Amino acid sequence: MRGAAGGANLLALRSHNTALVLDLLRTAGGAGISRLELAERTGLTPQAVSKITARLRGEGLAAEAGRRASTGGKPRTVLRLVPGAGHALGVHLDRDELRAVLVDLDGTVVAERRAPLDLGAGAETVLEMVARAAEELAAEGLGHLVAEGARVPGAALAAAPTLLGLGVALPGPLDHVRGVLHRITGFPGWDGYPLREALERRLGVPVVVDKDTNAAALGLAVGGAGAEEGSKAGGEEGSKAGGEEGSGAGVEAGGAGGQRGSGAGGQRGSGAGGQRGSRAGGEAGGAGGEAAGAGARGGSFAYLHLGTGLGAGLVFGGGVHRGARTGAGEFGHQVVQLDGPPCTCGARGCIEALCLAAVARGDLAEAARVLGTGAANLAGLLDIDLVLLGGRTVAAAPEAFVHGVGAVLDARARREGGHDGPVPVRLAPAGTRGVAEGAAQLLLAPLFGRGDGG
């Protein structure tokens, strides 16, 4: 055990009923929630809720947030989550860059690092960089919690009492369950490498490994990707399974967007949208919104990541869809041009090859059109509610990509007819930090019943 509210104790709290209560405490924010409300919203008995909340308070995970007037009798005590009672590290290993963050239970970034990286430099070099970044973040964000004698290289993580572990996200394909890498496009030397085992042995804390797109999608789902308009099938009552709270995966203030929308949006929205909010933002929240939209337990969205490569993270019913062999989302390697230009994966005419070639020659309109073609294929196959765009290349020209991809989906909707309109296209929040933050959620989300993590 690491301490009263330590990472080891947090992991032991992973039960269904406890997760329900923790998630409601999280979404209630600083205003808190009463035990009676917890019982009503979870379906648990008041006695069960009292037992769970007593344990959470004893572990330092919950605290009183004041009192609230009741319709009869004495005022109710309301409880809130204690964000600083737990932390997780998230690392994004891109082909040429490392980004790392330390976040608390709310997902708030406490500290971060960024450094150049050569993913082809070899396992030992890459692991050394991950270890250094993780230990620096722990020292900066959690150093005050670590005993003086434990502040030595290699011991900082295991000695941090509130640290749950480390999430690592990188290009696929890979085996998420076993934490073993496959033949990463352009870096075949990683094929078969047991990354999770190697990092756990080196750092002494739990490690979860996933694809960059899946991690980002998880972070969006937990944070409330969607927006108040919910999904295509939703109307005022939210999406397919959204109910009164819409189809989001998050909180009233939409961790992934907020009332005013996200990056390229603002209240009025950006170029592609006008007063209703553009696909890159707007009043309904670029990817969040008041009640959170299509990342809900009943909604769906696709996160398309365009950076040094191209991939997708898929969310159905609030959970990341990884497939039977955790290989879902290899979006960039669907062939759209037979006998087209060669791709680094060995095939020809892949969307990734066509899209990156257009970016390299400065033709962003063509890159967006190619990406939109893939998005339209995805929408036709899976009937998704929402498309979110992210990655460094998108972040450098958000309106060009949101508008261009949206135009292809608009054209598809006009061809098919119907009254639902096109699948919305928006800019994913969190910008270029989204994958690293999502990697941290690989450890945090299971505590709140929002993902399977490992």
For β-strands 97-104 and 300-306, DSSP reports them as unpaired
In this predicted structure, what is the pLDDT of residue 145? 65
In this predicted structure, what is the pLDDT of residue 3? 42
Q: How many CA atoms lie within 13 A of 300 on its CB side?
A: 15
Residues contacting residue 414 through CB under 8 Å, at least 6 positions apart: none
pLDDT in tens, 19-71: 999 999 999 999 999 999 999 999 999 999 999 999 999 999 999 998 887 76
In this predicted structure, what is the pLDDT of residue 263? 35
Residues contacting residue 189 through CB under 8 Å, at least 6 positions apart: 120, 122
Distance from C-alpha of 355 to C-alpha of 374, rounded to nearest angstrom: 10
In this predicted structure, what is the pLDDT of residue 356? 97
Angle (CA) 210 258 235, round 5°: 95
For residue 436, the SS3 value is: helix
pLDDT in tens, 245-284: 333 333 333 333 333 333 333 333 333 333 333 434 443 3
List, for the chain, all residue ranges whose pLDDT scores fall below the cut of 50: 1-5, 8, 148-151, 226-285, 288-293, 296-297, 454
Distance from C-alpha of 31 to C-alpha of 195, rounded to nearest angstrom: 41
Please tell me the pTM assigned to this model: 0.82
In this predicted structure, what is the pLDDT of residue 158? 83
Can you tell me which residue has the tokens 């070639």? 357
The radius of gyration of the chain's CA atoms, rounded to the nearest angstrom, is 22
Both structure tokens of 133: 């970044």
In this predicted structure, what is the pLDDT of residue 4? 41
In this predicted structure, what is the pLDDT of residue 453? 54
